[in-house]
Structure formats: structure tokens, C-alpha cells
Amino acid sequence: MNPESALNGQVALITGSSRGIGLAIARRLGQMGARVSLCARKKTDLDGAAADLRAAGIEVLAVSTDVTRPDEVSRLVSETQRSLGAVDILVNNAGIGIFGPFYHQTEADWNSVLDTNLKSVFLTSRAAAPEMIRRKSGHIINISSLAGKSTFANGAIYCASKWALLGLTGCMAEDLRAHGVRVSAICPGSVATEFSPHAGKDPSRMLQPDDVAHAVAALVTQSPGSFISEVQIRPTQKP
């Protein structure tokens, strides 16, 4: 399979794709021939990302979206279908982290993290799934974290969102597998982005956004008779 044409004719929608991991995933899937739909809250960042991908010859739609709002998610999926075609690949990457002792955090902190990291996955997947079911094909990939497999001090709300996301992912996979739709989770360790502070860590020894993009590319090019439920990614050396 030629990696530059493996996804020709397919449409990939990536949330939280104006920078970091999401942008790396969009670039990789676009390089493989997919038409990509980008979304993020900040229009200026989104426009810059879209321009970058278009300069590389990738067909791009950019829709400023708050993925915690059902009306905006519905509009995102509708605009993607109208402009690019039915969604073949949905990558739920949008996420935030608020860190600190749980007893210092507020209900607003809880709502912000859970809405972005968990509710948004429910909303976007619910919006994209009916057409995938109708076509009996599709991939939904949820970017979780190794924080969804372990716990650490100051990570209560973030870990809660990622543990829940793995539960949601597993149930979605069971709901959709009979319809030919494959659902997977990717759990990276710390990635060298501006997402959260990495005090004392050497960025050159951390995971890079392209490492996560590589895992996404592997998942969407699986043979049709199987699917990988979960991928865990760690750096070869501890940072």
C-alpha cells in the first residue's frame, strides 16, 4: 500500500487540530490522501493551521467549533459532510488539563475538563456515527492518555476524564463493531507540546506529536477483518 495514497477519497475529521497532536494527526492523514476537517475554538490558530496544511497540498476545511456544545458539533459534522463528504475517520483529540490538588479545584474546573475531554467525544461520535452505520464502515479514534491507566498527585480531574474516556471508548466499540465501524483508543505518555508543564523533563526524550500521528495512521490502515482496541505509547527512554 502506497502511504501517500492509502486514504485517497476518505474524509478525516480531527478535533482540537489547530496545533500539537491534533495538527500532527491532520497533517499525517492529509499526506496519506485524506481530505481533512479541522476544528478548534480559536479561529486565528485554526486559520493558521489550515493555511499550513493547504501549503502542503492537503485539502482542508476549517470550522471554528466549541466541541462541548451539541449545536456547534452538529454544525461541524454537517459542514464537513457538505464540503468534503461523509466522515470516514473521526479523531477525538480535543482536550485540556487543569492540574493541582483536588481540594483546591472548583466545580467549574471539573466541568471544564470533563466537558472537553469526555462529553465532546460523546457529542462528536454521536453526530458522526449514524452515517458510518449507514455506510457500514468508519473509524473513531479517541486520544486518551496513560493517565487513564494510572494515577498521580495533582491529576485528579484529568485522570478522571481519561479513565472515563477509556470506558466510553470500550462501550462505543461494542455498540458499533457489528456495523463495521471500528473504535480505538490511543494512550500516549507525556508528549512534548504546550499542553501542560513538564518541569524537569527533557523534551527531546519525550514523545513527539508525530509519534501519536503514526499510531493513528496505523489504526486507519488495518485490514478490514480486525481492529486494535487500544494503543499505549511510551518513549524509549524516560524523559
Q: Which three cell numbers stand for residue 161?
A: 476524564
Distance, in Å, from the CA atom of 208 to the CA atom of 224, rounded to the nearest integer, reads 28
Distance, in Å, from the CA atom of 224 to the CA atom of 226, rounded to the nearest integer, reads 6
Decide: helix, strand or coil at residue 191.
strand
What does DSSP assign to residue 236? Answer: S
Q: Which of 13, 62, 158, 183 is catalytic?
A: 158
Task: Give the β-pairing of 138-143 and 89-92.
Answer: parallel
Residue 103 is among the residues annotated as catalytic for this protein: no
Distance, in Å, from the CA atom of 190 to the CA atom of 39, rounded to the nearest integer, reads 23
State the Rg of the chain over Cα: 17
What does DSSP assign to residue 207? Answer: B
Distance, in Å, from the CA atom of 114 to the CA atom of 37, rounded to the nearest integer, reads 24
Instruction: Just list the catalytic residues.
Output: 158
